[in-house]
Structures are given as structure tokens and as C-alpha cells.
Amino acid sequence: MWFKNLRIYRLTKPFEFSPEELHERLSEKTSRPCAGLEPSTYGWSAPLGRKSEQLTHAANGYIMLCSRKEEKVLPAAVVREFLAEKVAHIEEEQARTVRRNEKEELRQEILVDLLPKAFSKSSRTYAYIDPKASWLVVDAASATKAEELVSLLRETLGTLPAIPATVLSAPASILTNWLNGLNVPANYVIEDQCELRDPNAEGAVIRCTKQDLLSDEIQVHLKAGKQATKLAIEWNEHLTCVLCDDLSIKRLRFMDILQEASADEGIDEASRFDADFALMALELSRFIPSMIDAFGGEDRSSLT
């Protein structure tokens, strides 16, 4: 289980649930299929999938959990087509114009009729808790998806004092300095991808891939006032990722040396999952503080 994107939350109070206690609490809100007229459902699922009933998976003090969302697939184009047919039929039969309020009522009737017949799709979001370091790490590309899981966990536990990680320096300024060759940490290597933005509200955006980011071409944009809002780096020869100015991490990839170490730990699926999780969480327990330090250290003013 190798995460591909990170959204990092600081737990502002100690997390005191054991994996077993957390499992019991998550059991109160397990995922389930959509009922007839429900457009979606959201709950907890076993990280190991169908082969396990445990809603938590613990390794080396870290606790993995997984949310599952099921949604009815009802394309807007289909609803519009049914609505257009109904409106045309009424207008033809009754020789009158169907007004906006009536169209909305017809649309709701169509939804009631079609939802029970619609197919369902499901998606899972994984996260893990590091009780010792007080981090909650969510594998989500978007803030909305991460907040959805955090909100569900907060609702499940009754309370969850967690806030997005914050730092003392502006990440965009730090990333821009790195592109200018200033204060790049020793274990960071700038790779070949970045996003540059004009700080003005509607400023230009330039996205570069497979580009020498220390070239004169990039320097021209930096001298014009653009700032780096995303930057691909390699860290400590163990992982690569794209650092973003909102402290999210995208396109995370662990180097072969870690995945090869995991492959030697066991051959069955459960053992492989356990080994992957343990190695990943251990590596991120080193990388996350390194990244926080690179951005000037954690802003702890909101923790008091």
C-alpha cells in the first residue's frame, strides 16, 4: 500500500485510541450500498479489503484506515434528455409553455424514477494516523476528498482536533528560492517539473515538464516576478514527489530500493500489505519533518 498523494494534518491533542478501540468506533459507521433513492453513501471499510473484517490495520505503531464512498451513476446528460422529452410532450399535448419551477419538479420526478435503476460505483480513500508524532496523513489528490475523510472520522469519534499542517515560511517563496539556487537542502534534488504563477490574482501560469529548471529560460520567468507553486524533487534518494505551495504532495513515488525491501518480507497479500505500510509510514515519518523544516519549521501558534 504505497500512497501517491499526501494531505497532512496536525493532531492538536494526543490520539489515545488503540487500533482495537478505533476499530470498534469505526464499526458504528461502516460503508454500505446505496438504498433506492440515496445518491451516495460514505463509511468505513477494511484497509485489507474483502479478506479482512478489521477496519484498522496497525504496523509499528501506525494505524491505517480506509473510507469507502458509493455513488449512483446518473449522468446529467441522461437526466436532461428525459426532461427534454417530458417538457416537449407536455407542451405539445397541452399547448402551453412549461415554466422553470415546473421543469425543476419534473427533474426531481425523473431522479426519483431513475436513481433506483442506476448503476453504482465505489471509491476508497486511505489514511494513516501516527499517534507518536501526532500526524494524520491522507492519500488524496484534492483537499475536498481529504476533508471528506477527516469529517467522517471527526463525526465517528465525536471529536477530532486536527488541522492542516502549517509552516512559518511561505512555501512558494522557498520553492522559488530553490529554483534560484538558494538554500536548497542537502538531501533535496530539484527534478524536471514545476509550475510557475504570477502572484497577481489573474496572473499567467506556466507548467514545465521534462525541463532543465535551472536554465536561463526559467530564470527569465522568475526575474519577471513569477513564483514556483509546484516543484518536483527527489529526497534522500528514497522518494520523489511534487511539493505544492499548499503543503500538499503529489505524484509521490518511492524508490525501488524501498519496494524491493518490501518484496522480501512475505509473499501473501496480507504480509505484503503489512510490509509496504510499515516501510512507507517509517519513510514518511522521516520525510514529513524534513519537509516542514525545509519550509521554515512548523507554525505552532494555532496549536495553543
Lowest mean pLDDT among 40-54, 169-183, 194-208: 194-208
Q: Domain-by-domain residue ranges, the chain?
A: 7-73+119-164, 76-116, 171-303
Amino acid at 134: S
Helix (H, G, I), strand (E, B) or coil at 232: strand
Query: Is pLDDT at 211 greater than 90 in this prediction?
Result: no
For every residue of 69-138, DSSP letters joined together read EEEEE--HHHHHHHHHHHHHHHHHHH-SPPPHHHHHHHHHHHHHHHGGGSEEEEEEEEEEEETTTTEEEE
Per DSSP, 267 falls in state S
Strand-pairing partners, residue 124, are: 68
Share of the chain above pLDDT 70, in %: 96
pLDDT digits (tens, 9 = 90+) for 133-165: 999 999 999 999 999 999 999 999 999 999 999
Question: Given this model, what pLDDT does residue 114 score?
Answer: 85
> CB neighbours (10 Å) of residue 206?
14
Higher pLDDT, 124 or 218: 124
Q: What is the mean pLDDT of residues 201-215?
A: 84
Q: Which of 154, 215, 211 is nearest to 181 (CA)?
A: 215
Cell readout for 279 is 516501510
Q: What is the pLDDT of residue 216?
A: 85
pLDDT, one tens digit per residue, over 40-82 is: 999 999 999 887 889 999 999 999 999 999 999 888 898 899 9
Q: According to DSSP H, which parts of 213-296 are helical?
A: 216-223, 256-263, 269-294
8 A C-beta contact, residue 298 and residue 292:
yes
Q: What pLDDT band is residue 304 in, cutting at 50, 70 and 90?
A: low
Give the per-residue pLDDT at 255: 86
Residue appearing with cell numbers 504496523: 59
- CA angle 171/241/133 to nearest 5° reads 70
**Count of CA atoms in the C-beta half-sphere (13 A) of 290:** 17
Give yes or no for a contact between 42 and 67, defined as CB atoms under 8 angstroms apart.
yes
Determine phi and psi for 113, rounding to 5 degrees.
-75, -40
Tell me, what's the pLDDT at 259? 67
